[in-house]
Structures are given as structure tokens and as C-alpha cells.
Structure 1
């Protein structure tokens, strides 16, 4: 993991201009995936986000044909 930037939820919130609560409740585990976009150091409760991976994936263009269906759990189903 050369030169990766690890951010807390509050630091990520400031960078992407989303409320920290939105990151925790809506983006985490639906858009931001454990092992890809974040990890829990030493198996603890604290979460560190990997900025370079998030920045890369934020810039990806999704196909126009996809449809987002809101789920009752707060996540999204992409069809």
C-alpha cells in the first residue's frame, strides 16, 4: 500500500462534502465497501477510509441504463 491516505469518517466527510452521518448510514456497505474503500485496523471498531480508492471510484461514470432502486434498509439496488 504505497502512499495511501487513510481518513476518518469526519475527514472523508470534509473532502467529499457529505455529512458524516450520511457516509455511515447510506454510503458505507452500499457504495463504500469494506476491504476496498475502508478497513478496520487491528479488527477494531474504528474505520479508516482509503482516499485514493474512493477518489478513483467517485470519478467512474456509471452506465446510463442503470436504475437505482431505494431499499428499506437505506441502501440502493442497482439494476
Structure 2
């Protein structure tokens, strides 16, 4: 199974959160290195794993809550 890797800017556009919010509030409190993002080749650049971020966002969301707005 392949993963979709997103930069902070791409993730920002996908989830409609400001890049700064992702870097300063979500990273390392909700989104964790090795689970939700990686630093390829030991560098500074961060790549978010879309499928795992999406799973985290939907954690606790049920079909009922999606269809009924609860």
C-alpha cells in the first residue's frame, strides 16, 4: 500500500488550517513524527502522511454523525 505525502502547505490547503497552526499547534501534540509525518533522509523537511492524518481527523466520527450533523 502506498502513501500520499504532503508538504505543510499542501496539508494546509487540504484540511483548511493555516500552515502556522499545523506547525505550532498540531505537530507533536496531535500529529506525531513516525505516525503522521516523517523527515525524509534525516533532513529538516517534513512530509505528512495524508492517509494517517485523515484517519486521525476522522477518529471518533461515525457514519451517523456525518449524515446527521451531530
TM norm structure 1 = 0.74
Return the structure number with greater strand share.
1
List, as ranges, runs of 4+ consecutive aligned residues in structure 1 with deviation greater than 2 Å. Answer: none
Q: Write the mapping of 1:32-51 to structure 2, written as runs, cut at 5 A.
A: 32-51=31-50
Question: Is there any run of 5+ residues in structure 1 with no aligned partner, and where?
Answer: 63-79
CA distance in 2, matches of 1:44, 1:58: 26
Return the structure number with greater helix share.
2
TM norm structure 2 = 0.84
Higher relative contact order (CA 8 A, sep 6+): 2
SS in 2 for 1:49: strand
State the Cα deviation string for residues 1-49 of structure 1 (Å, max 9, x = none).
Answer: x221000000000000000000000000000000000000000000000
Q: CA RMSD in A?
A: 1.1
Question: Is there any run of 5+ residues in structure 2 with no aligned partner, and where?
Answer: 62-70
Report how many aligned residue pairs link the two structures. 61
